[in-house]
Amino acid sequence: MNTNLQILYEDKHIIVCLKPHGLAVQNRKAGALDLEHMILNHIASSCRSSASKKYSQPYLAVIHRLDQPVAGILVFAKTREAAKILNRQLTSGNFGKQYLALVDGVPACRQGSLTDYMTKDGRTNTSRICEKTAAGAKEARLNYRILSGQNISYDEIFPHFTSKSAESIASCTLLEVTLDTGRHHQIRVQLAHMGCPIIGDTKYNPHAKAAFGWQTLCLCAYRLSFSHPSTGKKMTFCLLNLE
């Protein structure tokens, strides 16, 4: 796991970072490393080194999260006003969040939409597909498309899971997934329910080898777009160009 802070963009309102596989955004264990405290330490260090600023405890708001075994792009707010505006965009569906998922099998259609209802079990930290009328049921929507003809190395996207390991699987497919909602383990659960569970997902893929550990989950939030909370300018960050 790369524990160096990887900053893609920063100004006085926001900071955009790449979270590596295996690092928690926020960790409940005292003293445990997480992305939030890495950013806070970075901001505090920058304030101390600035002669023109008086040091004070930095402000940082977590706007959205990724599961610990998922890598990808995240934006954090450095002011309360920026947090308010970004949270409004997130809840109104004005965040563009796209993922790359390496799955077992091949979907029946090259592209499609999935709409299900999901419920979460807090005791096991898992979610499942359920009936609309089930207690705690929430609608989950995503779109996917198969990426073919792309000269992409699996190692480039998922450095923790080698191409050699992926090739040992009878059939695997790279999907681009766009979220319309943000439910707990949504992509993992919906793709598994479709019959194409994510490679390395020891919770929802019955073929995943638990010996590899959850760190081998092949899911990455590779593209993020939103409007800057101060200027209103459309901002897009992307790890790979798949046009």
Read off the pLDDT of residues 135-177 as tens digits, 9 standing for 90 and up: 999 999 999 999 875 666 666 777 766 544 554 555 789 999 9
Flag whether 92 is in a domain: yes
Domain count, the chain: 1
Instruction: Quickly state the pLDDT bin for 53 (edges 50, 70, 90).
Output: low
Flag whether 31 is in a domain: yes
Flag whether 243 is in a domain: no
CATH of the domain at 128: 3.30.2350.10
List pLDDT tens digits, range 30-47: 667 899 999 999 998 877
Flag whether 1 is in a domain: no
Residue 111, token pair as written in the block: 């592209």
pTM: 0.86
Q: What residues make up the domain containing 145?
A: 6-238
Written as one string, the DSSP assignment of 133-164 is TSTT-EEEEEEEEE--S----HHHH-TTS-HH
Strands (E), the chain: 6-10, 14-19, 61-62, 71-77, 96-104, 111-121, 126-130, 138-146, 172-179, 219-227, 234-238
